[in-house]
Amino acid sequence: MEFDRAADPYRRGMVADLVAEGRISSPEWESAFASVPRHVFVPYFFDLDSAGRWIPVTVETTDEASWLGQVYTDRTCVTQLDGGTTPLDVQGAVEGLATSSSTEPGLMADMLEALELDDGMAVVEIGTGTGYNAALLSERLGEANVTSIEVDPKVSAEASEQLRKAGLAPRLVVGDGAVLGGPRVDRLIATCSFPTIPDAWLSMVKPGGIIITTVFTKPFGMAIVKVSVGERRGEGEFIVPGASFMETRTPPSGPVRFPDLEQIEEATERATEWNPADLFRFPVGFLAGWVLGDASFYPEFEGGWPVIIDHASDSWAAFTDGEHGHRVREGGKRRIWQAVEQILTEWQRSSVDDLSGFRYEVVSGHDGYDALGSPAIGVKWQRFRNG
């Protein structure tokens, strides 16, 4: 109880900042954020040191004021590495891939406000994580109207315990959020990223409902979309371009096949106005990934070539700098860099720096596709999918 009282001014300060910044705009969400104690859901986290290593932070390893100050800052708190390691499992700096976290509260507020909730609505959340977002939804709608799905049983169990401590008990499910089933709901929000909106979501959300999720394109970019749902389809806009969530966990796709370096040396070379380093800049990387599909990027491939490899078509593009600018060599069944150049050139015609004005469309079923388009310049890039 003493600890909870100590957290109150930190929580009030965080909420006041989010309101002042316009991230929280409704009294209902202001009340929810003011009521739900984030520190209960983030009893420990990892912090990055100057060398890019993860430092475990717990209330036992730092002073109370410092710990509460970090928890109630608008920042993401990483709580798991490599699918299982928590700050309680290590001592000192470690390396690893972040696999679970409590998202920065400002971004959570952006997405929750975009849901346009009314009292009594039913919501499904994909990606329980720490349980903090499920707690906010439960505070806003009542726990009986909230279902949260998590693929990791251990993460789900820990979230259940934290929710219990906060006096909340929404329905928690362990499973794959891409293939969920059950009664139809009014809203769906995903706090992990997907390459497309799964068919199951379009079936679960009622027509007229809303889906908020992050769409990612491999290997370069992510953007949060708000989709209005119809029968077997959805259409919407990008509301937080460039924001990122951890990718949904999928099984490994098998060994990577690299192109033969002799083929690279023998390929036809030409000039390109686009620098492959631009792929790490939003939205260039997102747009390139849209047409590249399940490609991989190797910035320092053997021999010094940056290389993009599309394993599905056994195609590749390799880059170097020539005397008069960037140059590319392409091989395989399709010219993948040519497709990238086309979408980037058309994006330049839209005269926007991000994805403002771009529309996202998704259709489910055996003939399903998703599409990215710009009405302003009259173009649409469509790709078929497996649902």
119, with CB counted inside 10 A (0-12, 13-18, 19+), is exposed
Round to whole Å and give the CA distance between 135 and 141. Answer: 10
Residues 208, 118, 130: CA angle, nearest 5 degrees: 100
Task: Examine the residue annotation and report whether 102 is marked as an active-site residue of this protein.
Answer: yes
Q: Which long-range contacts (CB under 8 A, 24 or more apart) does 223-227 make?
A: 223/282, 223/283, 223/286, 223/355, 224/110, 224/111, 225/360, 226/114, 227/197, 227/360, 227/362
- Closest CA relative to residue 213, chosen from 126, 116, 130, 150: 126
Phi and psi angles of residue 300, each rounded to the nearest 5 degrees, phi first? -130, 70
Locate all alpha helices (DSSP H) within 166-324, ordered by sequence.
Answer: 199-204, 261-266, 284-292
Tally of residues, the chain: 387
Q: What ranges in 269-349 are assigned the alpha helix state H?
A: 284-292, 336-349
Q: How many CA atoms lie within 13 A of 367 on its CB side?
A: 0
Backbone torsion region of residue 325, taken as left when φ is above 0, otherwise alpha when ψ lies between -120 and 50, otherwise beta? left
Q: Would you report the helix, strand and coil content of the chain in percent, each value rounded to 5?
A: 30, 30, 35
Catalytic residue (one of 101, 102, 138, 148): 102
Residues acting as catalytic residues: 102
